[in-house]
Structure 1
Amino acid sequence: MDIKAYIESGILELYVAGSLSDQENQEVYNLMQQHPEILQEVLEIEAAIIKLTASTSREDNNKILQSIKDALGFNSNTTKVVSITKPKYNWITYSGWAASILLAAGLFWTVNQNKQLESDIKISKTQESLLEFQIESSKNSLKEANTLISVLRDDNITKVQLAGQGNFANTYAKVYWDKESDRIFLDAAGLPEPPEGKVYQMWSLKLNPLAPTSLGTIDDFKADANKIFEIKNANDSEAFGITLEPTGGSASPTMEQLYTLGVVSST
């Protein structure tokens, strides 16, 4: 999913404005849970709307107050002489009209406050969801860290250095292979972020004859801050390699885009 294009589509503004269907609202909410960038964008949109609403409310209230002053003749700089003739409208009429204007202003203020309250509640719920997401992420990170520590300290774990290849000599990676549980932990901190439309793909290799088996693509490379990935591997691997492939992966490795390669030690 192209997060940037989704954010720029305008659907998040419609979500904040309450203009989407229930199904669309649910879809946006689910994506907010999955992608912190989308959740942050929603928070920023809501904050901007609150700021704009507050500014507009003060301006409209000033206009209403000014109209009341104009109606009652409080803004004239000239001194008025009170006529001894009977006025066309008495002060009760003016008072009633002014009261109507004040009532309208009061209703406007009440509606505006209700909208502000609804917006505050919505932001509060969004922030609560963000906090829950952060707490859950922290729990998962701690669990992953403990698992990784146990792997690194296990003498039975096979460690494989993956060196940079060809034009990508400056890249590197490490593989920690737990054969008993048929999984590897890939430390890909030595790889640059893949360009748009590309993903890294992990390969298990047999060397004689050369036979690559895909272990899958690393789709969440950019989102993972630690760049450590757990990958299933039930193969009798003799080497591991990482190539850069189009989104979705390839049936066979693109050797011109072979970033790293490492042979499993026989000892």
Structure 2
Amino acid sequence: MPPLNVMFEALDRCQISLAQFITMLLTCQEYEDHRSVVNLLEHLNEVLDAFLQHPASRDCFTQWSFGVVENMYLQELCCLASEDGSSHFRASSTSTEQLENFSLTAMAQEMEVGAPRWWGLLGTLLDDRRMADSAGQTDGLGDKSIDNEQAADHEYWDKVDEIDLEGLINGLTGEWNVHPETLTSRHAKHHSAIKLMRKMIITSILMNGWNQKSNVLQSLLGLFLQSAHTPYKVINTLARLGISVSADTISMAVQSLSKELHNSL
């Protein structure tokens, strides 16, 4: 290791601390192409890892990193929930055109484009292989437990009427960036579509919590629940959880659709 005392003495003579020196290197435009700055940026991972490993800075650096990541996710979700996006659904002016033009695939793609880091995090958290590996490690049953879960999952999909979900499944998997070889079976397609829907629902709940006007998925789910004669208490409970809109909001949407139909006659 080269002697550092010479460098420390030079900094003392210039009456500048090491922190000030590094900050000036990275913030002054006149030094942006300097070989020291280029070298520092090329070895940034090593520098950050050294901060993470140092016992005196580990906790502070970790907390700072979490803060940066949290703000990044919040900014992405805030942009998705803003009026500039297509996530706002006005129940009082609901039209058949809104319902006909709605696309789960387009909504999922908009979420991925608008919040790529958040979408990637959800993909990691919902990764089937990692969850299966984790389950096998924690329950002590190994591959047998995973095989039983997969068998139960396959049995469930065998009982589902293929006609009811085929359009939705193909819409979510056929136009998505998924390798065809990973979707060779009907079960794989269903699993991929369910994973996408989970990501959309989680994201929509958080968007609605950030901006209550961001409620397009909740509104459509509410209309579906109403058409299925779901009790109002259930709908309002789901509304409080951010999964649906309230029964009163659904009634407003239905009235708007009825008015549109009446005017068209």
Q: Which has the higher contact order (CA 8 A, sep 6+)?
A: 2
> Do the structures match in fold with TM over 0.5?
no
TM-score, length-normalised on structure 1?
Answer: 0.22
Which structure has the highest strand share of the two? 1
TM-score, length-normalised on structure 2?
Answer: 0.22
Structure index of larger Rg: 1
